[in-house]
Amino acid sequence: MRTVLVTGGAGFIGSHVTQALLDRGFDVVCLDDFNDYYNPAFKRENVAPFLENPRFHLVEGDIRDRDLVFATYRQFGISTTVHLAARAGVRPSIANPRLYEEVNGVGTVNLLEAAHRFGAYTFIFGSTSSVYGINSKVPFSEEDPIAYPISPYAASKRGAELMCYTFHHLYGLKVTVLRFFTVYGPRQRPDMAIYKFTELLAKGKPVPRFGDGSMARDYTYIDDIVRGVMAAFDHEADFEIVNLGGSRTTTLQQLIELIARELGVPPLVEELPLQPGDVPITFADVSKAKRLWGWQPEVPIEEGISRFVRWFKAHRLG
């Protein structure tokens, strides 16, 4: 049975992927630094159910620490890497671009080097729809030119994608790059829009709405993302870039109204100017995932928001 390294395995997407791998009988090594980008207690809570499982191994540390990364591959005999650790967030990256390049760039290189050095030749990388920038063509296809990222976060993730290809070309690493489109669901990071809007509206406070509410996003429920990651895991590619998205758009105003309806409260809004780094729309063309793996999104935004609000009421409201 393969031993899988999940970087960022205590985070939102990482903890769900870790659960899926453990459910299938794999040994899983979670490498996470439990940084304070958001409350580390939430990440501790995410991995708490795994700690008694003998097939789960927790390594606390930073992917920028090359010695630690190499020691982890050596100690556990890693055969497959699911690289989800990242410094996330468009707006914070504008304030601290060096940190984003160090974590998302140098950290990724450390993992690629270790994967090559220790023969862990299957590498799955969690990228982002942000790499598409302001793309005038919708929906976004993996074949679209993406030479102009508009935030340090997007640039750092695109650079990491290119480095993944370089290691595939030079050393034969089998790499699948997954471009995630605005993932949401239980355990979601509290800095993300759906969580923040739900929390504010539940407390009777207005939601900060940047722009006129027409900005649109392709939201993807966590269960669909996990199925996509597992499909990449099962269908080992030489090198592929694949979109994983809900493949429909929801405007900011529609999202606010949908959350408010689920909570049974009025959709209060505070109007604010547009923010640097925000793109007007994201919209995934997922035909490649369907062609390669038979994957397509199954949870529509209405059902996903209903599930998230139920989780929020049970775990965060109080």
Please give the positions annotated as active site: 153
Distances (CA, A) of 264 to 92, 164, 258: 32, 46, 10
CB 8 within 8 A of CB 86: yes
Q: Which two tokens stand for residue 153?
A: 């976060």
3-state secondary structure string across 160-204: HHHHHHHHHHHHCCEEEEEEECCEECCCCCCCCHHHHHHHHHHCC
| 94-100 contact pairs (CB < 8 A, 24+) | 94/151, 94/152, 94/276, 94/277, 97/152, 97/156, 100/152, 100/153, 100/156
Give every CB contact of residue 144 below 8 A, 6+ residues apart in sequence: 132, 135, 137
Q: How far apart are CA 132 and CA 197, in angstroms?
A: 25
Give every CB contact of residue 125 below 8 A, 6+ residues apart in sequence: 83, 108, 160, 161, 164, 175, 176, 177, 178
Q: Nearest Cα to 186, choosing from 19, 59, 4?
A: 19
Q: How far apart are CA 84 and CA 20, in angstroms?
A: 14
